Amino acid sequence: MNMEMRKLGRSGLEVSAIGLGCMGMSANLGPAPDRGEMIALLRAAFERGVRFFDTAEVYGPYVNEELVGEALAPVRDQVIIATKFGFTNGPNAVPLSDGLVRWGDLDSRPEHIRQAVDGSLKRLGVEVIDLLYQHRVDPLVPIEEVAGTVQDLILHGKVKYFGLSEAGADTIRRAHSVQPVSALQSEYSLWWRQPEQDVLPVLEELGIGFVPFSPLGRGFLTGKIDADTKFHSTDFRSSLPRFTPEARQANQALVDLLADMAAKKQATTAQVALAWLLAQKPWIVPIPGTTRLPRLEENLGALQVQLTPEDLQEIEKTAATITVQGARYPEAYAKLGGR
């Protein structure tokens, strides 16, 4: 298919207008699927025009990078692979040499970043990481130090572009003043719109691209999940306040809104959810994840859905009457990472 390409801000980094989030191919959404099938799916995504693939050291941990690296090895020079550093992957409390104890599982100390990058290069089987994100802001390490370390890795040819994930406006500005930030990755969709308040204006001002993860509300906005859906014990959605049966029932109104528009557009609910995101800014590139080819093809079909200014206004008007129920993360997890 003819894939639309988008530039992530003013960095010069060009990617397919829809990327592929690869986390669920190894972890966090129930039992890991068959590895061979996932390699086939990654290659099918490439054949259908996807040129932007998202993984992380912590997915698995480690095995997702190996999977993505192996699958994309034959087309390495034609794709952009993003990965992330910033978690210890170890026990919750890791004492530092200065006697401090790490907060949560975070670790963005310069020596750990360098170690993580060397590991990622090896697992991905690449000579350079296209886009390297700090997975979460580490409150114990100044962001200027993190940006400076990545700048050094760029100068040494190990990394091309620097990104942040779930960072707030002030952190983005501070990092960008040391090493230009090419992309911010954060959750954004019709059911999580907080980035609109303070982050999107800063990205626009500084020329930074935006990569929404969970653009389909972790599957909820597809219309395939309702109050009666049962999640596997290894599916992390089973622990999210927004996914309690009561919250799902209350939030169904948002899915109904998308379904109404989908009927008008002869599209699916998921396609309208993605088309809405794509219509917000030309430098927004969502990365829906999937483990199934029909879902991949459905998601890419969102590029054919044109929402007019009137359609967007109608969605906005109805969405304003809906209050989404349930916190995004449990309290303990919500505290993990600064802004």
Residues annotated as catalytic (active site), given as ranges: 59
Transcribe 132-160 into DSSP letters: EEESSB-TTS-HHHHHHHHHHHHHTTSEE
List of E strands, the chain: 5-7, 14-16, 20-21, 52-54, 80-85, 129-134, 159-165, 181-187, 209-213
State whether the Cα torsion 233-236-240-246 is positive or negative: negative
CA 266 – CA 305 distance, rounded (Å): 9
Contacts 24+ apart (CB under 8 A), 268-272: 268/222, 268/223, 268/298, 268/301, 269/221, 269/222, 269/223, 270/216, 270/221, 270/222, 270/223, 270/295, 270/298, 270/299, 270/302, 271/298, 271/299, 271/301, 271/302, 271/305, 272/302, 272/305, 272/307
